[in-house]
Structure 1
Amino acid sequence: MSKTITAQDLHIHFGHGDETPLFKWLIASFLMGKRIQADIAAQAYRVIVEKRQRDTPRKLANCSHRELVAMLGEAHYVRYDETTAKRLLALAHKLNDEYAGKVGNIVAASADRQAFEQRLAEFDGIGPKTVEIFMREAGALLFP
């Protein structure tokens, strides 16, 4: 069984109205939602968000596919590196284009938690597991 990695483990601290930790946790959840070891997913998060400072949707969207594949490779996240890079870029672009780059705008566009979860699942590569991981830590903040 894979270890459960929390936002706190990744030094992500949520605050009301603070968009950056929500995006960081979304990226971490996205990476951990795949069939890959949690430690490798956490390392991929650290490489992309901390080392390469792709900590906003705009910064992530400005990566090339090749750069993202290289970052994933650096973290040994190689099993799904090509598709993950493609889907991370799609996530960043959709978040920028449809929600002005803010997870909070997905919340604002959703009638309730269920509608929010459905909107999250509309992002390519986000399935039930990723939604579950994301909501495990952000749900109470977004829907008190």
Structure 2
Amino acid sequence: MSRQERVVRELVGAHGRTYADEAGIRLKDTPQPLYRLLVLSHLLSARIRGSIALATARALHEAGLRDPRRMAGADWQERVDALGRGGYRRYDERTATQLGDAAELLNERWGGDLRRLRREAGGKVPELRRLLQEFPGMGPAGADIFLREVQGVWPEVAPCLDAKALQGAE
């Protein structure tokens, strides 16, 4: 067993909950949970407390903005209001625009299904990371969060231990 595998085992044993788990996302390889993870990763990548990002992801879900079709179909104010209900006020206006634009991109380019993005990447993690960063507001940190979380359902991503995860593990 490699050092990374030992670290992962120890961390999961001690802290066993993922961000998706905390946000109420039952992660599986289907379009809606993957989309909700994409939104959560976007929220978590901003300079805002993780607890607020998690609450906001739940608020967006409760507002019905749980898939890219609904997110793109919602007007900007609906998105701002849902972000505000989650406590995500600092970046709410910009994030509302980014979420709408990202949902439109996902719908137009990959038919609303992140599994198609995965297929386009050919299972290559660097290409997955690059494609994820094409979504408005999704930078390297957001892409890394998504990849860390999705490795349970996209096995070719595992083990995914970026610098932030390794720093926390140390």
Q: What TM-score, normalized by structure 1, do the two folds share? A: 0.90
Q: Unmatched 5+ residue regions in structure 1? A: none
Q: CA RMSD in A?
A: 1.5
2:137 is aligned to 125
Runs of 4+ in 1 over 4 A off after TM superposition: none
SS in 1 for 2:84: helix
Query: Partners of 1:122 and 1:143 in 2: how far apart?
Result: 22
Pairing partner for 2:126 from 114, 120, 134:
114
CA contact (8 A) 2:56 2:87 kept: yes
- Name 1:10's counterpart in structure 2: 23
Q: Distance in 2 between matches of 1:42 and 1:48?
A: 10
Q: Residue 140 of structure 1: CA displacement?
A: 4.4
Structure with higher RCO (Cα < 8 A, 6+ apart)? 1
Number of residues paired by the alignment?
Answer: 139
Q: C-alpha deviations, 1:69-95, integer Å up to 9, x for none?
A: 111112221111110000000110000
Q: Is the 8 A contact 1:7 1:137 kept in 2?
A: yes
Counterpart in the other structure of 1:40:
52
Query: Which position in structure 1 is the counterpart of 2:84?
Result: 73
Deviation (angstroms), 1:141: 2.3
5 Å matches for 1:16-35?
16=29, 18-35=30-47
What is the TM-score when the length of structure 2 is the normalising length?
0.77
User: Which structure 2 residue ranges, 5 or more long, are not aligned?
Assistant: 1-16, 157-170
Question: Cα 1:107–1:82, aligned 2, differ >3 Å: closer, same or farther?
Answer: same
Larger radius of gyration: 2
2:112 maps to 1:101: yes
Question: Where does residue 163 of structure 2 map in the other structure?
Answer: none
Matches within 5 A, 1:124-143: 124-143=136-155
* Separation (CA, whole Å) in 1 of partners of 2:57 and 2:25: 11
Q: Distance in 2 between matches of 1:72 and 1:19?
A: 22
- TM-superposition CA deviations, 1:1-41 (whole Å, max 9, x none): xxx9621112222234x221111111111111100111111
**1:110/1:116 contact within 8 Å kept:** yes
Moved more, 65-74 or 133-142: 133-142
